[in-house]
Amino acid sequence: MIAPEGYGEIIGGSERISSYEKLEQRIAEHGLSRQAFEWYLDVRKYGAFPHSGFGMGIERVVSWMCGLSHLREAIPYPRMLNRLYP
């Protein structure tokens, strides 16, 4: 679901690639390092099942509903000069 007025996607869904061979092919197509994805390939090879899901970006909904000018204003854990992590 896309929010109006340029706030972007507030609800999205996806399905992960469940085919080991297709995943290998996509990694190669995009020129990505296979080593960086070995752990995920192992998950696919040794036991993960096909799955999908959806989620809602709470910060995006809050910024849209409140008419905020930037998404950062809706994040419950603000980042400051001396505090980068919540």
Asked if 5 contacts 64 with a C-beta cutoff of 8 angstroms, the reply is yes
Question: What is the reported pLDDT for 29?
Answer: 96
Residues with Cβ < 8 Å from 45, sequence gap 6 or more? 20
pTM above 0.75, yes or no: no
Q: What is the pLDDT of residue 6?
A: 83
25-53 residue pLDDT tens: 999 999 999 999 999 899 888 877 888 88
pLDDT-derived band at 75 (thresholds 50, 70, 90) equals confident
Closest CA to 3 of 75, 79, 68, 73: 68
Domain boundaries, the chain: 2-74
